[in-house]
């Protein structure tokens, strides 16, 4: 059972080999204890190294997805398209559409709030986001599933070389993706004024704990890093929950460089960094004052949360 959970060490220490080769009657208690201690150290070291290793792997996958798929830079990268055709045998590489992420950027102001003016709501990019309850900001379960599949090619070989067993590899990958999704959902939707995502729709951190985390220096670091991504028109700071690859690939923009370029809307200095529900509240306010033209977007009534409508 122990081997199934932690895997078999790649190498054995000299004393452990000697212990196994020696006749049973000559094995001392001391040698057995030393061998067990050395094995425990190897196992402990392996699990300790798994943490930074998986952080790096998640950072890499988050970066690749965000930059080349969500921002559709795949379409402008010839070597990637050529590699795709070579691997898949296709004559022409598919075109990445960003899955609504490009529209999300067009909808986001530099203070992280989302546009709710009638002109924007009737624009073509805004219409593409109508079908997304969280306006492309959340990691719902289907997105988490895709992230899990994407992690497999990079995670499995690395974890196998580290000596982890198959059950351990599966547990580490699933755990890493789940933690990433939970942090993302406690950070990104509320940052942009969307509702906190419930567990039935996506992995999350309990709201009470999420509110405490949002006051930590770690979340402040993530918030500012992502704010810089939006201010720099989505060309820098691609990592959201696991910063790292931006520093490696030269796409990191520090706060002192992006802040002077920010164009903050009126009242931005008083905005709560995580105003969950702000977007729906603003839509409701506009609807009540007749500021939303026809209160329709592409022939569809604005979808407001029930508790906001009855408030």
**DSSP secondary structure, 169-217, as one string:** HHHHHHHHHHHHHHHHHHHHHHHTTPPPPPTTTS----HHHHHHHTTSH
Buried b (16+ CB within 10 A) or exposed e, 21-52: eeeeeeeeeeeeeebeebbeebbeebeeebee
Q: How far apart are CA 162 and CA 156, in angstroms?
A: 10
Domain ranges of the chain: 28-91+99-309
Whole-number mean pLDDT of the chain?
Answer: 86
Angle between helix 29-64 and 14-21 (nearest 10): 130
Highest mean pLDDT among 85-99, 123-137, 207-221: 207-221
The predicted model gives 4-17 an average pLDDT of: 45
Is 154:61 a contact under the CB 8 Å cutoff? yes
Give the distance, in angstroms, between the CA of residue 9 and the centroid of all CA atoms in the same chain: 31
Q: What angle is formed at CA 256 by the lines to CA 250 and CA 258, rounded to 5 degrees?
A: 70
**pLDDT reported for residue 30:** 64
Contacts of residue 115, Cβ cutoff 8 Å, sequence gap at least 6: 107, 108, 109, 121, 126
Joined together, the tokens standing for residue 268 give: 């931005």
Q: How far apart are CA 253 and CA 126, in angstroms?
A: 28
Say if residue 300's pLDDT is above 50: no
Residue 294, burial from CB neighbour count under 10 angstroms (0-12, 13-18, 19+): exposed
The predicted model gives 162-188 an average pLDDT of: 96
Q: For 180-227, how does the pLDDT look when each residue is reduced to its tens digit (9 = 90+)? A: 999 999 999 999 999 999 999 999 999 999 999 999 999 999 999 999
Confidence band, pLDDT 50/70/90 cuts, at residue 43: confident
Q: For 243-285, how does the pLDDT look when each residue is reduced to its tens digit (9 = 90+)? A: 999 999 999 999 999 999 999 998 899 999 999 999 999 999 9
pTM surpassing 0.75? yes
CA dihedral sign, ordered 133, 123, 311, 193 = positive
The predicted model gives 19-28 an average pLDDT of: 54
* Nearest by Cα to 16 from 52, 46, 45, 41: 41
Q: How far apart are CA 63 and CA 71, in angstroms?
A: 11
Say if residue 92's pLDDT is above 90: yes
Say if residue 292's pLDDT is above 60: no
Residue 297, burial from CB neighbour count under 10 angstroms (0-12, 13-18, 19+): buried
Joined together, the tokens standing for residue 123 give: 């624009």
């Amino acid at each position: 059972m122990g081997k199934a959970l932690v895997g078999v060490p790649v190498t054995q220490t000299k004393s452990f080999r000697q212990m196994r080769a020696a006749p049973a009657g000559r094995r001392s208690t001391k040698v057995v204890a030393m061998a067990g201690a050395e094995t425990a150290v190897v196992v402990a070291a392996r699990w300790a190294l798994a943490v930074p290793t998986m952080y790096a792997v998640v950072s890499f996958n988050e970066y690749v997805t965000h930059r080349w798929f969500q921002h559709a830079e795949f379409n402008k990268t010839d070597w990637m398209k050529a590699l795709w055709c070579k691997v898949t045998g296709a004559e022409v590489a598919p075109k990445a559409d960003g899955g609504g992420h490009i529209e999300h950027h067009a909808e986001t102001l530099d203070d992280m709030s989302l546009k709710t003016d009638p002109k924007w709501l009737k624009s073509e990019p805004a219409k593409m986001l109508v079908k997304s309850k969280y306006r492309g900001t959340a990691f719902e379960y289907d997105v988490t599933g895709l992230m899990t599949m994407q992690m497999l090619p990079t995670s499995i070989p690395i974890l196998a070389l580290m000596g982890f067993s198959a059950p351990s590899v599966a547990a580490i990958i699933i755990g890493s993706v789940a933690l990433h999704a939970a942090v993302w959902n406690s950070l990104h939707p509320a940052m942009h004024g969307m509702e906190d995502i419930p567990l039935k729709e996506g992995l999350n951190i309990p709201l009470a704990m999420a509110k405490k985390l949002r006051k930590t220096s770690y979340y402040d670091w993530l918030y500012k890093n992502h704010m810089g991504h939006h201010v720099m028109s989505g060309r820098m700071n691609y990592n959201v929950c696991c910063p790292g690859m931006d520093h490696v690939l030269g796409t990191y923009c520090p706060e002192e460089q992006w802040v002077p370029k920010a164009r903050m809307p009126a009242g931005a200095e008083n905005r709560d960094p995580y105003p969950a529900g702000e977007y729906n509240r603003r839509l409701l306010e506009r609807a009540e004052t007749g500021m939303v033209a026809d209160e329709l977007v592409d022939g569809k009534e604005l979808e407001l949360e029930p508790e906001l409508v009855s408030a």
